[in-house]
Amino acid sequence: MKNNTKYCTYSNFRTKSVHKQKGLSLIEVSIVTAIVLLLAIIAIPAVGSYVVENKVPKVGEELARFALHTQINAQPGSSLPYADINTGVLAGMVEDSTIFAVTRSGSTTRVLHGLGNDGAVEVGPSSSGAGFTITLDKVNHAACPSLASVLQKISDQIIISSMASGDTTVKSDSISYNALQAESSCTKGDLNTFIFTIS
What is the domain partition of the chain in residue ranges? 55-198
CATH top class, domain 55-198: alpha beta
Please state, in angstroms and rounded to a whole number, the distance separating the CA atoms of residues 168 and 38: 37
Give the mean pLDDT of the chain: 85
Q: What confidence category does residue 73 fall into, taking pLDDT thresholds of 50, 70 and 90?
A: confident
Q: What confidence category does residue 100 fall into, taking pLDDT thresholds of 50, 70 and 90?
A: very high
Please state, in angstroms and rounded to a whole number, the distance separating the CA atoms of residues 181 and 169: 9
Q: Sign of torsion, CA 125 66 146 109?
A: positive
Question: Are the CB atoms for 109 and 103 separated by under 8 Å?
Answer: yes
Q: pLDDT tens across 32-46, in order?
A: 888 888 877 776 666
What is the structure's pLDDT at 159? 96
Question: Are the CB atoms for 114 and 54 separated by under 8 Å?
Answer: no
